Structure 1
Amino acid sequence: MNKKTILACCLSVIAVGGLLSFKLIKNEVENAGLKLPGNFKASIIADNLGSARHLVATPQGDIFVHLGGLKNGKGIVVLHDNGDKADVKTTFGTFSGTGISIKNGYLYASSDQAVYRYKLNNNNEVADPEHPETVVSNLVTKRAHRPKAIALDNDGNLYVNIGAYSNICSELDPQKKGCPILDSAGGIWRFKADKLNQTQGNGIRYATGLRNVVGLDWNQQNNQLFVMQHGRDALHDLFPKLYTVHQSAILPAECMYALKEGDNAGWPYMYYDDVKQKKMQGPEYGGDGVKEADAKYADPVAAYPGHLAPDGLLFYTGNQFPEKYKNGAFIAFHGSWNRAPEPQAGYFVVFQPFKNGKPDGKWEIFADGFAGTPEQEASGRAEHRPCGLAQAQDGSLYVSDDNKGTIYKISYKK
Structure 2
Amino acid sequence: MRSFQKKMLQSAGFAAFLAGSTFLIAYKSEVPPAASVLTMPVDAKEIKLPAGFSAKILATDLGATRHIAVGKNGDIYVKLSKLKEGKGVYLLRDSNKDGVIDEQKLFGDYPGTGIAIKNGYLYSSSNKAVYRYKLNDKEEIVNFDAPEKIVDGLLDHGRDNAKSLTLDNQSNIYVTIGSYSDNCRMTGSGKGMSPCTILDSAGGIWKFNANKLNQTFSDGLRYATGVKNAVGIHWDTKTNSLFAAAHGRGKFDDFYPQYYTPKHSAELPSETLYRLKEGDDAGWPYIYYDHFQHKKILAPEYGGDGKKTGGEKAIDPTVAFPAHLGPNALMFYTGNMFPSRYKNGAFIAFHSQSVELHKGYFVAFVPFVNGKPGKWEIFADNFAGVDLVKPTGPIQHRPCGLAQGPDGALYVTDDLNGTIFKIDYKKK
Q: Same fold (TM over 0.5)?
A: yes
CA deviation vs aligned residue, 1:310-369 (integer Å, no higher than 9, x gap)? 001000000000000000000000014xx67x786410000001012231x210100011
Q: Please report how far the alpha carbon of residue 381 of structure 1 lies from its aligned counterpart in structure 2 after TM superposition.
A: 3.5
Tell me the residue number matched to 2:10: none
Tell me the residue number matched to 1:100: 115
Match for residue 45 of structure 1 among 58, 63, 70: 58
Tell me the residue number matched to 2:179: 164
Match for residue 150 of structure 2 among 126, 135, 143: 135
TM-score by length of structure 2 reads 0.87
Check if 1:381 corresponds to 2:398.
Answer: no
- For 2:267 and 2:337, the matched residues in 1 are separated by 35
Structure 1 residue matching 2:186: 3-state secondary structure? helix
CA contact (8 A) 1:371 1:377 kept: no
CA deviation vs aligned residue, 1:258-311 (integer Å, no higher than 9, x gap)? 000000000000000011111100000010001011321011000101001000
Residue pairs, 1:15-30, within 5 angstroms: none
AA aligned to 2:122 is L
- For 2:54 and 2:252, the matched residues in 1 are separated by 40
Check if 1:145 corresponds to 2:145.
Answer: no
Q: 1:391 to 1:262 in 2, by over 3 A?
A: same
Check if 1:122 corresponds to 2:140.
Answer: no
CA contact (8 A) 2:184 2:192 kept: no
Residue pairs, 1:264-303, within 5 angstroms: 264-303=281-320
* Structure 2, unpaired ranges of 5+: 7-16, 22-40
CA contact (8 A) 1:149 1:215 kept: yes
Residue pairs, 1:244-283, within 5 angstroms: 244-283=261-300
CA deviation vs aligned residue, 1:130-153 (integer Å, no higher than 9, x gap)? 011110001011131111000100
AA aligned to 2:160 is H
- For 2:239 and 2:412, the matched residues in 1 are separated by 25
CA deviation vs aligned residue, 1:138-182 (integer Å, no higher than 9, x gap)? 101113111100010001101000111100001259574220111
Check if 1:357 corresponds to 2:336.
Answer: no
Q: Please report how far the alpha carbon of residue 61 of structure 1 lies from its aligned counterpart in structure 2 after TM superposition.
A: 1.0
- For 1:143 and 1:241, the matched residues in 2 are separated by 32
Structure 1 residue matching 2:254: 3-state secondary structure? helix
Tell me the residue number matched to 1:324: 341
Match for residue 203 of structure 1 among 208, 220, 226: 220
TM-score by length of structure 1 reads 0.90
Tell me the residue number matched to 2:90: 77
Structure 2 residue matching 1:249: 3-state secondary structure? helix
Q: Please report how far the alpha carbon of residue 73 of structure 1 lies from its aligned counterpart in structure 2 after TM superposition.
A: 1.1
Tell me the residue number matched to 1:58: 71
- For 2:425 and 2:182, the matched residues in 1 are separated by 40
- For 1:211 and 1:306, the matched residues in 2 are separated by 14
- For 1:71 and 1:80, the matched residues in 2 are separated by 18
- For 1:397 and 1:116, the matched residues in 2 are separated by 25
Q: Please report how far the alpha carbon of residue 34 of structure 1 lies from its aligned counterpart in structure 2 after TM superposition.
A: 0.3
Q: 1:116 to 1:273 in 2, by over 3 A?
A: same
Tell me the residue number matched to 2:254: 237
Structure 2 residue matching 1:374: 3-state secondary structure? coil
CA contact (8 A) 2:186 2:192 kept: no
AA aligned to 2:82 is G
Q: Please report how far the alpha carbon of residue 86 of structure 1 lies from its aligned counterpart in structure 2 after TM superposition.
A: 2.1
Match for residue 372 of structure 1 among 382, 385, 390: 385
- For 2:192 and 2:383, the matched residues in 1 are separated by 44
CA contact (8 A) 1:344 1:379 kept: no
AA aligned to 1:184 is S
Q: Please report how far the alpha carbon of residue 377 of structure 1 lies from its aligned counterpart in structure 2 after TM superposition.
A: 7.9
Alignment root-mean-square deviation, CA: 2.3
Structure 1 residue matching 2:198: 3-state secondary structure? helix
Instruction: Write 1 or 2 for the structure with the bigger share of helix.
Output: 1
CA deviation vs aligned residue, 1:70-104 (integer Å, no higher than 9, x gap)? 11111111112445432333221111110000111
Q: 1:132 to 1:380 in 2, by over 3 A?
A: farther
Percent of residue pairs identical? 52
Q: Please report how far the alpha carbon of residue 2 of structure 1 lies from its aligned counterpart in structure 2 after TM superposition.
A: 4.4
